[in-house]
Structures are given as structure tokens and as C-alpha cells.
Amino acid sequence: MSGNPPLIVNTKCECGHQNPVGTVLCEACGNPLLDGADSARPLEMRYDGKARRSQKTNPGVIDRVWNFFSSVKIAIYLIVLTLLGSTLGTVFPQESTFLHIDPSTYYKQRYGTAGDIYYRLGLSHTYESWWFITLLVMIGASLVICSLDRVLPLYKALSRQQIRKHRRFLTRQRVALATKVAEGPEDWVSKAVQPLKKQGYRVMTDGGALLAEKHRFSRWGPYIIHIGLIIFLLAVLARGLPGLHMDQHLAFPQGEIVHIPDTSYYLVNERFTVEFYKDEEMPEEFRGKKVLPKLYETKAVLYECTADCGDPSREPKLAKVASHAIQVNDPLSYKGMKAYQFDYDLTPVLRSVTPKLVNSATGESYGSFKLEMKNPQRSFTAGPYTLELKEKYMEFGLSEEGKPISKSPYPNEPAFFFLIKGPKLPAGGEPYFYFPKQNDKAEFQQDAINDKLGGQGRFLELEVGDMSGVDVSESTSYLNVRVDRAMPFVWVGAGIVMLGLVLGFYWQHRRIWLTVGEGELTLGAHTNKNWYGLRREVSSFLKKMDINADEKSLENGGDPA
């Protein structure tokens, strides 16, 4: 097939059938068209020798793209490149494995020059890089086009099979036999039907010719695999679309209701438990040396907001919709949203205090009020006094200009700034700083600050009498809240891949053709895999027909390629 192609290719077979350009074996009788009548090599049986779209003469631009992606060679290059590209991403940990790093300095500090080069080449995010995504998209294109280019001709070839085949088609199969038989053609063939049927073949006869076939469906295996892979790849790509995917890590202090951002859901961690294995549950070698966790569990209740949701001035109305004991390997799941056990923190977190307003001179108490760390009320009353909350600082600190600021939104070192109004106080009110935690009170010198702010006559103090005035959540559970609407398609794709794999690999398409004429039986057999099994089957069939053919003797030259 080298040199200039002739202007008009004669593709008409000697049996009279007109074949399209690119046909290897005549569509009707199977006569090999491309090589001479004297060749004895086993036939190339792929797609039953039918022409494919990619073998069109005079290709245009679209044809050229089609031809590129329809090539199995290209597909293999793409697979190998993806394979090599993937391995590069495992040399050093990917950026995505860390929650808080600055990659531009991290890789250099941790891994030296090699790490720096790794980062600069963009390999620290290999799997998000443009070339890797391009490879995956190209594999997707190759999957579609390779399959279409082959499955259609194959389908046509297999659904329109002629029973009587050209002699050269039979003798040049990888499993072939030509031997003398005494009986007449039709008698021999009709006798052959039963044993073949017993071996599970569908048998069709045409006078002295016979075609036996089984497990044709296994030929569709590869294409089913490819369809599954395409669905899988599309589903993976769809995860990038807005609204289909949500992923957040949230802290849930025990006993506190927390709104899940961007949703109408609220989740409360009613109780978080960590359990460790007791000594008697551990092997002797570990006792007293190792501590192994046994269970992390968050008893969670999920609420949905039913009214007044977006309105900051009103309490949202919540309805309980689900509850679940979340464990590792056992998330809470509600309408496609899932909450996974991710991490925990056993440091107690202050939730609210109930201080009393007292007169430091007389010891007289004016009453108490509950001060929530999160969303506190704006004003409180204690006896004749009102306390207006002006500022709150969850983690108290001073800015570079010396102004009070909050360093984080977590109530680690909370501080509150009040304006107290009432009897014997200035008309504008008396400013008062309050640190609910005893250590903070000392560390930040609450008294000194207030003395400075309130002056000499200051007599009011906020005090927490005992622990009954302090409400603490014992622990915090960190949950990973996710929505992944594309997941069903991922699983469907994977399921289809598995179906195709099983059909394609655990069954084989086997065909046996034979013709009897002029006192001679000519037999050819083909399978897409497991030749060993086919030879054994043909040999045992021939034995039943009183022809002794050793399995090995049926083999007709080795590989077709």
C-alpha cells in the first residue's frame, strides 16, 4: 500500500459485491481483497475487515481531526502520556494536601532547589494544570471517536453475515483445517448442527455451508467500557460547574446551632465523643505504650429554615429534618448534602457567661444577665442600671496603632465594651471593659483600663460568682459539609465500565465457518480472545464428527501481525 494510490481503486470482489474503499475482507464472502491469492498468512480479522470512516480518501479538515482521534496509536500515546504525567505529581506532596501554606515559599524551604524547580514547573498542582486537563479531554475525544469509528462498521458486519465464505477466508483463519470427508455436503453439515448446538453455538446453515456463532455480545464489551468512561469523565468535568458542588469545613462547638453558609440548613452538634481502645483490647506489645483511637462520633441534628431565613432582625424558624450519629465512614446525609466527620478539638470553648453587676464598695448586687459570646443582645438591665453593648472582641488584641481589635472570630479571649447608665453615673454613661475569662482579666489588666476610662468614683463591677455562671461547650467537632450533585453520574459511569469489562473479558465471541464440497471439508474459526479455548472446542467438535485433529494441529501460523 505504498506509493501513489491509483486514481480509481477497484474494490469489487470476484463474488460480485461492491465494497467501499478501505475494505480488507469482502463484506459478502470474506475474500481477502488486498493481498494476492498466494498469500497464506492468517487474516487480519479486526472489525471483520470492514472499511472505517477514518479510511476515507481525500480527507477534509474534520476528517483529519477525526482520523487523528480515531487512531488507536494516538490513544495509546495519550494513555502513556497521562500515565507519565500522573507519576510526576507524586514526587512531592501536591498543594491541595495542605490547608494553609504559601506554595511559592513552602517547596523551596522544605525540599530545597529540587522543590523550587518542582513548584516553578507547576508540578505542585499537576492534576489541575492545563496540560493534564487537556490530556484528559483528549482521551475523552479519543474514546468517543475511536469507538464510533469502529463500532458502526463492526455492527454492520456482524449483523449481515454470509454463511458461505470464500475458501481463502477459511484457510487463512488462525484456526483452520482442510480434510477429506466421505459424506455428501448437506448430510455432513446437518449432522454437524447438533454437536455445535450442544457447545452453545447458534448455528445457521446454507446447503453445504455452516456458520456457528456464540457470545457475540462480548464484542460490545470494549465499546460499553468506553461509553462508561465518557459518562464518568463528563460527570467529573460537571463537578466544576457552579451549584453542583459545595465543599466546606466548619466548626461545630458542642451544643451550639451553626448555620451552614450558602444553604438554608442549620446543624447542631449535640454531643461529640472520642473513645480510645482500652488496654485489654490491645495486643500485649502495645499496652501502656500506644494509644489508639476507637471512635469519633458527632451526634448531629440537622434543621432547615422554614421562615424568616434571610432576615437579620428576626429569629429564623427552624424545623428538624434529620439526625444522625456521624462517624468516620458514616456521614449524615440529607437531600444530597452530606456532613463528614473531619476533625475535632477537645479544648473547651466559652459559650456564655452570666455576670452579676455589683457595687464594689458596698457589695450590693443589682442582678445578673446572660451574655452570649455569639450574637449577644445589644442592651441589658440589672436593677436600676442599663448596660449598652458598644463593641465586642472575640479574640482581644491591640492593633499597631494601639486600638483594640479582634484577632479572630473565635471566642478565645473575648472582651466586651459596655456603656453603663443609671443612678450616680455621668449623664453620658460610664464606659466599662469586661473580660469574662479570669486569665484575660489579669493579662489585659481590666481594672486598670476601667480605672482609666471611668475615673476615681468608679464603683460598678461585673463579676461571675462561680462556675454555674459560666457555660462552656466541652469540645468542637469539625465537619466537612459537601454537596456533589454529579456523583450519581460518576457511579453510573463506573457501573457501565464494570459491565463492559465483565462482558468483554469473561466471554469471548467465537465463530466457526465450514463448507463441505467435492469431498473436502474446509473449516475456519475465529475468536477475539482465548485461542486456546477455541482450539479445544473445535477439536472436541471434530472428534464428535469422527475427525481426529489435535488442538495444536489446528493452529495456522502464529500471530496475524
Q: What cell numbers appear for 504 in the block?
A: 468483554
Please, which residue, 445 or 480, has the CB nearer to other proteins? 480
Q: State the minimum distance, in angstroms, from the CB of residue 264 to other proteins.
A: 21
How many other CB atoms are there within 10 angstroms of residue 61's CB atom? Answer: 7
Cα atoms found within 13 Å of the Cα of residue 360, Cβ hemisphere only: 10
Q: State the minimum distance, in angstroms, from the CB of residue 480 to other proteins.
A: 5
The DSSP code for 18 is: B
Q: State the minimum distance, in angstroms, from the CB of residue 421 to other proteins.
A: 43
Please, which residue, 279 or 463, has the CB nearer to other proteins? 279
Please, which residue, 155 or 417, has the CB nearer to other proteins? 155
Please, which residue, 217 or 506, has the CB nearer to other proteins? 506
Q: State the minimum distance, in angstroms, from the CB of residue 554 to other proteins.
A: 12
Please, which residue, 149 or 430, has the CB nearer to other proteins? 149
Please, which residue, 277 or 366, has the CB nearer to other proteins? 277
Q: State the minimum distance, in angstroms, from the CB of residue 297 to other proteins.
A: 9
Alpha carbon distance 20, 28 (integer Å): 12
Please, which residue, 285 or 518, has the CB nearer to other proteins? 285
Alpha carbon distance 203, 213 (integer Å): 7
How many other CB atoms are there within 10 angstroms of residue 550's CB atom? Answer: 10
Please, which residue, 329 or 548, has the CB nearer to other proteins? 329
Q: State the minimum distance, in angstroms, from the CB of residue 126 to other proteins.
A: 8
Please, which residue, 337 or 353, has the CB nearer to other proteins? 337
Q: State the minimum distance, in angstroms, from the CB of residue 247 to other proteins.
A: 8
Q: State the minimum distance, in angstroms, from the CB of residue 39 to other proteins.
A: 17
Cβ-contact 33, 11 below 8 angstroms: yes
Q: Which residues lie near other proteins (CB under 8 A)?
A: 46, 72-73, 75-76, 79-80, 82-83, 86-87, 89-91, 93-94, 96-97, 111-112, 114, 126-127, 222, 236, 247, 277, 281-286, 292-296, 327-331, 338, 340-341, 480, 482, 487, 490-491, 494, 497-498, 501-502, 505-506, 528-532, 552, 555, 558-561
Cβ-contact 107, 116 below 8 angstroms: yes
Which residue shows C-alpha cell 466548626? Answer: 251
Which residue shows C-alpha cell 464472502? Answer: 29
Q: State the minimum distance, in angstroms, from the CB of residue 391 to other proteins.
A: 29
Please, which residue, 403 or 552, has the CB nearer to other proteins? 552
Which residue shows C-alpha cell 470553648? Answer: 349
The 10 Å CB-count burial string (b at 16+, else e) for 152-166 is ebbeebbeebbbbbb
Task: Name which of 293, 324, 291 is nearest 479 in CA terms.
Answer: 324
Q: State the minimum distance, in angstroms, from the CB of residue 50 to other proteins.
A: 15
Q: State the minimum distance, in angstroms, from the CB of residue 298 to other proteins.
A: 12
Measured torsion, CA atoms of residues 41, 42, 47, 48, in degrees rounded to the nearest 10 = 100
Task: Name which of 458, 455, 462, 449 is nearest 398 in CA terms.
Answer: 449
Alpha carbon distance 556, 170 (integer Å): 11
Q: State the minimum distance, in angstroms, from the CB of residue 118 to other proteins.
A: 13
Please, which residue, 416 or 531, has the CB nearer to other proteins? 531
Please, which residue, 146 or 358, has the CB nearer to other proteins? 146
Amino acid code (one letter) for 467: M
Q: State the minimum distance, in angstroms, from the CB of residue 415 to other proteins.
A: 24
Q: Write the CB contacts of 464 (distance below 8 Å, at least 6 apart in sequence).
A: 353, 354, 355, 356, 436, 470
Alpha carbon distance 114, 118 (integer Å): 6
Please, which residue, 152 or 464, has the CB nearer to other proteins? 152
Q: What cell numbers appear for 401 in the block?
A: 496603632
Cα atoms found within 13 Å of the Cα of residue 227, Cβ hemisphere only: 14
Q: State the minimum distance, in angstroms, from the CB of residue 62 to other proteins.
A: 23
Exposed / middle / buried, residue 315 (Cβ in 10 Å: 0-12, 13-18, 19+): exposed
Task: Name which of 260, 247, 248, 269 is nearest 476 in CA terms.
Answer: 269
Q: Write the CB contacts of 277 (distance below 8 Å, at least 6 apart in sequence).
A: 291, 292, 293, 294
DSSP line for 462-525: EE--SGGGEEEE--EEEEEEEEETTHHHHHHHHHHHHHHHHHHHHS--EEEEEEEETTEEEEEE
The DSSP code for 119 is: H
Please, which residue, 188 or 232, has the CB nearer to other proteins? 232
